[in-house]
Amino acid sequence: MEISITKAQGHSLKPKPADESKLGFGDIMTDHMFLMDYETGKGWFSPRIVPYGNLSISPAAMGIHYGQEIFEGLKAYRGKNGGIYLFRARENFVRLNNSAQRLCMPQVDMGLVMDGLKKLILLDRDWVPKSKGTSLYIRPTMIATEPHLGVRPSNAYIFFIIIGPVGAYYKEGLNPVKIYVESRYVRAAVGGTGEAKTAANYAASLLAAEEAKKKGFTQVLWLDAANHRYVEEVGTMNMFFFIKDELITAPLNGSILPGVTRDSVMKIAADWGLKVSERSLPIDEVIDAAKSGTLKEAFGTGTAAVISPVGQITFKEKDYIVAGGKMGELSQRLYDEITSIQYGLTPDTRGWVERIGE
């Protein structure tokens, strides 16, 4: 399928951020977006790159009423010799298709969306920031658009990709965050939609996060829905605990989002000879390890923040300091390794990065 391109002209071009060191996260979008439509019986049609702008959808669009919405988050990096690099981008679209399957939404064609993404980035290449720690955030999204009230899968969808320059995800940057172990609310239950990147999961998480923020925490650490006992994820990140000489993360049992960064951390740590375990980890084991001093480090992983070290865990109103409240050695080493792969600075032995232009 041919992707048509309509360029934004003169006065509709937006000013680029003047000071890259002040870039936040998620507020600035570039001049263009990729868009295509779907109808049952017809499939995807009209793939196009058009000036960034508002969508026009019916107020009866089923996605608004019944939550058929899925998204992805990945980045492009301005790296070695001014090149623009993508990191494991296909895996994001594989995950998008898995989310689509769970939400009864149509599959996208890998070749087409990768082509659309690369053309979009290269058209807006001057928006890919150059400073250390900055990148271009990429948000592919699909939403049901058929105007119909009544619960069933929609027969019409749009898929779009918007992109924008970003700095650090948390205002803390690489400074350790304080997390609150949530023992009342739950994020996702096994059998539900926790492993899909779908809007409802985030709506469900807001109240707990807001209450934790009021108490001075950055994020909540979710426990499993059935027992309120096993650690799952933190906010929009997968979670790792380094106890004694074992790096532990929760298994992908259906309620956890299968993070690309999680997978990268596991592979890199295993290549370094570390013992990496995917296993159910009771919060009591974490707290006991914190008390006895064997909890060496804890950190979250995700595309937005890469590695987010945890400096304090609060459980049942008691505070436990982790790694002296500083970024641990392993967290730092993983952050350095992953970011240098992403920016094309370290030889890519795993086939994870693709240089798409400059």
Binding site for ligand PLP (CB under 6 A): 73, 197, 233, 236-238, 257, 259-262, 301-303
Q: Least distance to ligand PLP from the beta carbon of 300, Å?
A: 8
Nearer to ligand PLP, 262 or 296 (CB): 262
Q: Least distance to ligand PLP from the beta carbon of 259, Å?
A: 3
Q: Least distance to ligand PLP from the beta carbon of 54, Å?
A: 25
Nearer to ligand PLP, 176 or 300 (CB): 300
Nearer to ligand PLP, 100 or 123 (CB): 100
Q: Least distance to ligand PLP from the beta carbon of 331, Å?
A: 15
Q: Least distance to ligand PLP from the beta carbon of 21, Å?
A: 24
Nearer to ligand PLP, 47 or 259 (CB): 259
Nearer to ligand PLP, 30 or 301 (CB): 301
Q: Least distance to ligand PLP from the beta carbon of 307, Å?
A: 10
Nearer to ligand PLP, 115 or 263 (CB): 263
Residue owning tokens 């990148």: 135
Residues 328 and 297 sit within 8 Å (Cβ to Cβ): yes
